[in-house]
């Protein structure tokens, strides 16, 4: 079975390719390498460099390969950046997905697993956040992910396309052998920034606000290990292949950790001091985001293995120590 992974050179996409190949799938990767890394692409995958908005390019890939299913990770994904350049996000994420769906329809490819986001919810009214909660995105990034979900819904109705939308909470960690991991420029995510500070590459961690209504005043997030996250994608693919209809699932661990707790856990694991100072809140940060993840467990049979915070941090630390300057 041949699976097309769009964005297979990125942090999450490269872990998907790795696990698909381990599970004996035949894998085709498309990536424009704008934020992805050629070194992250698995040697057993067939790679086509190009942009999903380039329809003739994408048609050529579908002509050459017999695609049985699609995993779609190709998108811009920074909340803050999306507030500055929203049109760039609508173009790359929404228009890019439109072109992809047009080509899938043209070639009668029916199954797609899609990277959505907890950012589709906005500020939660109740915790943990259920899949049935209202969607009120507070950033263009979250809005694009919701629009992409809606495009899939209407393509299902019109063309019988089947999709699983997976709403990620905070993805962290790296493959346990430390060979692939997170490498963003610039880096904006909490755990890599903490670990770069531990390596002495940054002077200090800046904690964005300690006056939230949480026990220690810093924001609480739900961290899910990238390997567990990808396991859910493969289960979603199998779920669609078994003939099940379109569905939406949260992917989180249902456990919340504060910024301060993450920092202290990283200090213990790395044995480094990791200087930190508190600064102003970052615009658009909700105080607490924790997923209800029972639906993925009961419907997909998802059983995350690496739910304890030390394993998440240790795997990321191994990657950072082995690749202090990324790929
Ligand atoms: N954060 C922080 N300092 C940083 C980066 C992040 O205090 O340098 C906080 C941020 O305010 C949020 C949490 O860490 O509460 C996780 O942020 P991240 O950007 O990793 O993910 P997000 O929750 O925005 O998707």
**Residue list, ligand 1 pocket, CB within 6 Å:** 79, 170, 188-190, 193, 205-208, 219, 221, 259, 282, 285
Q: H or E stretch including 145?
A: helix 140-159
Residue to mutate (ligand 1; options 142, 208, 257, 266; most atoms within 8 A of CB): 208
Distance 289 CA to ligand 1 centre (A): 11
Residue of minimum CA distance from atom 4 in ligand 1: 190
Atom of ligand 1 at shortest range from CA of 218? 15
Taking each helix axis from N to C end, the angle separating 226-241 and 11-22, rounded to the nearest 10 degrees, works out to 60
Q: How far is the CA of 282 from the centre of ligand 1 (A)?
A: 8
Q: What is the CA radius of gyration of the chain?
A: 19
Which of 37, 319, 76 has its CA nearest to residue 196? 319
Q: Closest residue (by CA) to atom 21 of ligand 1?
A: 189
Using the mean position of ligand 1's atoms as its centre, give its distance from the Cα of residue 122 in Å: 15
3-state SS string over 252-301?
Answer: CCCCEEEHHHHHHHHHHHHCCCCCEEEECCCCCCCCECCECCHHHHHHHC
Q: How far is the CA of 155 from the centre of ligand 1 (A)?
A: 34
If you measure from the C-alpha of residue 189 to the centroid of ligand 1, how many angstroms do you get, rounded to a whole number?
Answer: 6
- What pLDDT is recorded for position 89? 98
Per-residue pLDDT of the chain (327 residues; tens, 9 = 90+): 999 999 999 999 999 999 999 999 999 999 999 999 999 999 999 999 999 999 999 999 999 999 999 999 999 999 889 989 999 999 999 999 999 999 999 999 999 999 999 999 998 999 999 999 999 998 999 999 999 999 999 999 999 999 999 999 999 999 999 999 999 999 999 999 999 999 999 999 999 999 999 999 999 999 999 999 999 999 999 999 999 999 999 999 989 999 999 999 999 999 999 999 999 998 778 899 999 999 999 999 999 999 999 999 999 999 999 999 999
State the catalytic residue, choosing from 141, 163, 168, 306.
Answer: 141
Residue closest by Cα to atom 16 of ligand 1: 190
What is the pTM assigned to this prediction? 0.97
Judge whether 141 counts as a catalytic residue: yes
């Amino acid at each position: 079975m041949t699976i097309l992974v769009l964005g297979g050179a990125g942090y999450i996409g490269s872990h998907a390719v790795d696990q698909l190949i381990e599970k004996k799938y035949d894998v085709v990767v498309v990536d424009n390498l704008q934020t992805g890394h050629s070194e992250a692409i698995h040697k057993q995958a067939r790679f086509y460099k190009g942009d999903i908005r380039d329809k003739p390019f994408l048609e050529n890939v579908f002509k050459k390969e017999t695609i049985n299913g699609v995993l779609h990770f190709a998108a811009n994904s920074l909340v803050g950046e999306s507030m500055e350049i929203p049109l760039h996000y609508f173009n790359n994420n929404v228009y890019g997905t439109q072109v992809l769906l047009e080509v899938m329809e043209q070639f009668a490819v029916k199954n797609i697993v899609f990277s959505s986001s907890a950012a589709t919810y906005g500020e939660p009214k109740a915790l943990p956040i259920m899949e049935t909660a209202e969607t009120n995105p507070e950033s263009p990034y979250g809005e694009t992910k919701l629009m992409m979900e809606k495009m899939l819904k209407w393509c299902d109705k019109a063309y019988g396309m089947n999709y699983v939308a997976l709403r990620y909470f905070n993805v962290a960690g790296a493959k346990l052998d430390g060979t692939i991991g997170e490498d963003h420029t610039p880096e904006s995510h909490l755990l890599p920034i903490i670990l770069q500070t531990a390596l002495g590459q940054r002077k200090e961690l800046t904690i964005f606000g300690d006056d939230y209504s949480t026990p220690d005043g810093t924001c609480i997030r739900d961290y899910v290990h990238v390997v567990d996250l990808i396991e859910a994608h493969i289960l979603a693919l199998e779920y669609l292949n078994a003939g099940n209809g379109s569905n939406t699932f949260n992917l989180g661990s249902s456990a919340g950790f504060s910024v301060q707790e993450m920092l202290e856990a990283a200090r213990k694991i790395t044995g480094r001091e990791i200087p930190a100072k508190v600064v102003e809140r970052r615009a658009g940060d909700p105080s607490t985001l924790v997923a209800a993840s029972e639906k993925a467990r009961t419907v997909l049979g998802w059983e995350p293995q690496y739910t304890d915070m030390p394993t998440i941090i240790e795997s990321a630390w191994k990657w950072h120590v082995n690749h202090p300057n990324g790929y």
